[in-house]
Structure 1
Amino acid sequence: MGFDQSPLKTLFSGAEDALLSMLADAPAEAVAQAHEYKILRDVLDGTAAAVAIMDERLRFRYVNDAMARMSGVPPDAFLGRTMAEVLPGIQRSEDILRMILGDGRPRALSVTGTTRAPSPFRQRQWSAVYHRLEYGDRVLGLCGIAVEVSGLRQYMDDLERAHQRLALLDTAATRVGTSLRVEQTCAELADFVVPSLADRATVWTVDPEEADDLPPPAPGVLRLRVVASAGGPDVVGRIGLTAEAGYYFDAPRDSPTRSCLDTGRPWVGNLASDDVMLKMLRTQLNVEVFRDVGIHSVVVVPLPTRDHPVGVLYLCRAGDSAPFTDEDVVVAQELAARAAVSIDNARQYTLEHTMALELQRALMSEPGTPHPDVETASRYLPAGQRALVGGDWFDSMALPCGRTLQVMGDVMGHGFTAAVAMSQYRSLLRTLAASGAPVERILQEADHRLASIGIDRVATCLLALVDPLAGTCTFAGAGHPPPVLLHPDAPAELVHVPTGPPLGTDLGGYEAATLSLKPKTVLLMYTDGLIEDRRRDIDSSLRRLTHLSLDVDGPLESLVDALVTRLVHGTTEDDVTLLAARLRSP
Structure 2
Amino acid sequence: MSASSTGHAERARLRAAEDAAERIGTTLDARTTCAELARFVCRSLCDAAAVELLPDDAEGERSPSAPHPGAQSADGGAPAALHRVAAEGRTRLLEGGGPTAPTPVSVPLLAHGHLYGVLRATRSGGGFTAHETATLHHAARLAAVHLAHARRHAAARRTALDLQRALLADPGRPHPNLELATRYLPADSGALVGGDWCETVRLHFGRTLLVMGDVMGHGLEAAVEMSAYRSALRYVASAELPPHRVLRQLDAVVARDDRRRPATCLLAQLDPARGIAAFASAGHLPPAVFGADGTARLLPVPAGPPLGTGAGGYAPVTRALGPADTLLMFTDGLVERRGEDIDVSLARLAGMRLPARAGLADVLDEVLLRLGGRFAEDDVAVLAARIRRR
Q: Same fold (TM over 0.5)?
A: yes
Identity across aligned pairs (percent)? 32
Of 363, 381, 386, which residue of structure 2 is paired with 1:578?
381
User: Cα gap change, 1:568/1:416 in structure 2, threshold over 3 Å: closer, same or farther?
Assistant: closer
Q: Which amino acid aligns with 1:305?
A: A
1 CA distance for matches of 2:220 and 2:96?
Answer: 56
Q: 1:543 to 1:502 in 2, by over 3 A?
A: closer
The equivalent position to 2:330 in structure 1, one of 525, 539, 544, is 525
Distance 1:187 1:162, change over 3 A: closer
Match of 1:312 in 2: 117
8 A Cα contact 2:327 2:384, kept in partner? yes
How many residue pairs get aligned? The number is 378
Q: Spell out the pairing of 1:85-484 with structure 2 (5 A cutoff).
A: 165=16, 168-169=19-20, 171-172=22-23, 176-178=25-27, 180-186=28-34, 189-190=37-38, 198-208=47-57, 220-223=65-68, 225=70, 240-243=73-76, 255-261=80-86, 264-269=89-94, 271=96, 296-309=102-115, 311-317=116-122, 324-363=128-167, 365-372=169-176, 373-379=178-184, 381=186, 383=188, 391-412=195-216, 421-452=225-256, 456-469=260-273, 473-483=277-287
SS at match of 1:240: coil
Distance 1:558 1:480, change over 3 A: closer
Q: Residues 324 and 461 of structure 1: is their aligned pair in 2 closer, same or farther, counting only changes over 3 Å?
A: farther
Name the counterpart of 2:309: 505
Q: 1:460 to 1:172 in 2, by over 3 A?
A: same
Residues 561 and 321 of structure 1, relative CA distance in 2, 3 Å threshold: farther
Structure 1's 492 and 155: CA in aligned 2 closer, same or farther, altered over 3 A? Answer: farther
Q: 1:560 to 1:161 in 2, by over 3 A?
A: farther
CA apart distance, 1:438: 2.1
The one-letter code matched in structure 2 to 1:242 is D
Return the offset for 1:391: 4.6
Residue type at the aligned position of 1:381: P
Q: What is the identity, as a one-letter code, of the residue corresponding to 1:172?
A: R
Q: Residue 85 of structure 1 corresponds to which residue in structure 2?
A: none
Verify the 8 A CA contact 1:221 1:250 in the aligned structure 2: no
- Report SS of the residue matched to 2:51: strand
Q: How has the CA–CA distance of structure 1 residues 569 and 421 changed in structure 2, closer, same or farther, with 3 Å as cutoff?
A: closer
Q: Which aligned pairs between 1:480-495 and structure 2 lie closer than 5 A? A: 480-483=284-287
Contact 1:457 1:504 in 2 (8 A): yes
Give the 3 Å change call, closer, same or farther, for CA 388–466 of structure 1 in structure 2. closer
Q: Is the 8 A contact 2:182 2:364 kept in 1?
A: no
Distance in 1 between residues matched to 2:31 and 2:371, nearest whole Å? 23
Cα shift at 1:508: 0.9
Cα 1:160–1:349 shift into 2, 3 Å: closer
- Give the conservation status (yes or no) of the 8 Å contact 2:17–2:138: no
Q: CA deviation at 1:446?
A: 1.2
Contact in 2 for aligned 1:376/1:556 (Cα 8 Å): no
Contact conserved, 2:48 with 2:121, CA < 8 A, in 1?
Answer: yes
Q: Computing the radius of gyration over CA atoms, which structure comes out larger, 1 or 2?
A: 1
CA gap 1:337/1:543 in 2 versus in 1, 3 angstroms: farther
Equivalent-residue separation in structure 2 for 1:324 and 1:331 (angstroms):
10
What displacement does 1:199 show? 2.8
Counterpart of 1:409 in 2: which secondary structure? strand
Give unpaired runs (5+ residues) of structure 2: none
Are 1:539 and 2:342 an aligned pair?
yes
- Match of 2:307, SS state, is coil
Change in Cα spacing, 1:169 to 1:507, as seen in structure 2 (3 Å) is: same
**Residues 433-461 of structure 1 deviation map (CA, whole Å, 9 limit, x = unaligned):** 23332222211121123334666433222
Change (3 A) 1:354 1:166: closer
Distance 2:213 2:271 in 1: 21
1:303 CA displacement: 3.0
1:521–1:164: structure 2 CA closer, same or farther, 3 Å change rule?
farther
Provide the alpha-carbon RMSD of the alignment: 5.0
1:321 and 1:569 map into 2 onto residues whose CA distance is 56
Structure 1 residues 459, 302: CA separation in 2 closer, same or farther (over 3 Å shift)? farther
* Alpha-carbon separation, structure 2, partners of 1:564 and 1:396: 26
Separation in 2, partners of 1:187, 1:492: 54
CA distance in 2, matches of 1:333, 1:491: 69
Q: How far off its partner does 1:205 sit?
A: 3.3
Q: Rate the CA distance shift 1:398–1:440 in 2: closer, same or farther, 3 A.
A: same
Q: CA deviation at 1:476?
A: 2.5
Alignment check: 8 A CA contact 1:177 1:339 kept: no
CA gap 1:503/1:558 in 2 versus in 1, 3 angstroms = closer
1:335 is displaced (CA, Å) by 3.2
Query: CA separation of 1:567/1:579 partners in 2, compared to 1, >3 Å: closer, same or farther?
Result: closer
Please list, as runs of the form range in 1=range in 2, the aligned pairs for 1:1-150 lying within 5 A after superposition.
none
CA contact (8 A) 1:500 1:510 kept: yes
What letter corresponds to residue 251 of structure 2 in structure 1?
D
2:114 is paired with a residue whose SS is coil
CA distance in 1, matches of 2:374, 2:145: 30
CA contact 1:560–1:578 (8 Å) conserved in 2: no
Change (3 A) 1:503 1:312: same
Report the AA paired with residue 169 of structure 1.
A
Letter in 1 for 2:74: L
Matched residue type, 2:174: P
